[in-house]
Structure 1
C-alpha cells in the first residue's frame, strides 16, 4: 500500500521551527486527519540533528481544535501524547501548527499527566502570548485531561490507523 507523504511542522509562537518530520498520510475520519510514522522514522527538533523513533505511531490532526494527538505503539511508555497547539493548518502537503507547550499524556500504566506547565508559564512571557491564546490553551488542556481520563473517543481505544504502521 503506498501513501502520500506529508510534512508535519510544529513551530513556536515566534515562528521558529520546533519538532518537524515527514509522515504517511493515512486518511480522514470524523475526528480529523491521520498520519503515521513507522519505527525507524526520524524527526528534528528545530534545526538540531535528527533523532530516530524506536516505535511506530499515528497522529491525529483535528479540523477545528487547539491540539494534536499521537497514539504510540507498544511498548512506548506513553500510550497517548497530546500537544496543545493552535488549530492545524493544511497547505501544499504540509500541516503546520504552533506548539503551546502544554501536553496531556496517558501513560501505558494508566497515569494521566498534564506536562510542561512551567514551560507554558515561561513562554507566556518570552513570546508574549495574547490573553485569548493563554485562555484557549488552558481550556483545551482541561478538556483533553477529561477526555483522555474518561476514554472519550478518539481516546477510547487504539485507533485502527495504528495497524497501518505497525
Structure 2
C-alpha cells in the first residue's frame, strides 16, 4: 500500500527556509493532522546538507493553533518537542508554518523545558515581530507548558499514530 507523502516546511519570519522534510500523511483526529517519519528518514535545515534521524517520530499539526508537536519514539531522549509557530497552512501536499523560536520539551526523564527564549528575544528585533505575534507566541508557550506538564490530551501518552512508523 502506498501512503501519501507531504512536505513539512518550517520557515523563519522573513520567509527563509528553516527545517523541511517529507513525511507520511497518517491521518486526522480531534487534535489535528498527523504525519510521521520512520527511523532513517532525512530532513534539512535551510540549505544545509540533509541529516538522518535515527528514531521514528510523528508530528501533530493542530487546526487553528500557534504550535506543532513532535512525538519521538524511544530511545530519543526528547519525548515531546513542541514548536511555537504560526498556524500551519495546508496547500498542494505541503504544510507550512513560521517557526517562532520558542519550544516546549518533555524529556524522557520527565523534565519540562521552555527552550530558545534567547533566540526568541533576538529574533523579535532581527525580524521585527509585530506585538500580536510576540503576545501569541508567549501565550501559546505558557499554555503548552501547562498542557505538557499536566499531561493534558494529546500529551498524556505516546499517540497511537507512533505505531504507524515504528
Q: TM-score, normalised by structure 2?
A: 0.99
Q: Deviating runs (4+, > 6 A) in structure 1? A: none
**5+ long unaligned stretches in structure 1:** none
| Residues 43-82 of structure 1 aligned to structure 2 (within 5 Å) | 43-82=43-82
TM-fit CA distance, 1:109:
0.2
Partner of 2:133 in structure 1? 133
> CA-to-partner distance for each residue in 1:6-47, whole Å, 9 max, x for gaps?
000000000000000000000000000000000000000000
TM-fit CA distance, 1:72:
0.2
TM-fit CA distance, 1:60:
0.1
Q: Secondary structure at the match of 1:83?
A: strand
Partner of 1:29 in structure 2? 29
TM-fit CA distance, 1:133:
0.1
| Residues 142-161 of structure 1 aligned to structure 2 (within 5 Å) | 142-161=142-161
Give the Cα–Cα distance (whole angstroms) in 2 for the partners of residues 157 and 102 of structure 1. 22
> CA-to-partner distance for each residue in 1:58-108, whole Å, 9 max, x for gaps?
000001100000000000000000000000000000000000000000000
Give the Cα–Cα distance (whole angstroms) in 2 for the partners of residues 115 and 46 of structure 1. 20
TM-fit CA distance, 1:2:
2.7
**5+ long unaligned stretches in structure 2:** none
Partner of 2:13 in structure 1? 13
Q: Secondary structure at the match of 1:3?
A: coil
Give the Cα–Cα distance (whole angstroms) in 2 for the partners of residues 3 and 135 of structure 1. 38
Q: Secondary structure at the match of 2:137?
A: helix
> CA-to-partner distance for each residue in 1:109-128, whole Å, 9 max, x for gaps?
00000000000000000000
TM-fit CA distance, 1:3:
1.2
Give the Cα–Cα distance (whole angstroms) in 1 for the partners of residues 112 and 11 of structure 2. 25
Partner of 2:40 in structure 1? 40
> CA-to-partner distance for each residue in 1:124-157, whole Å, 9 max, x for gaps?
0000000000000000000000000000000001
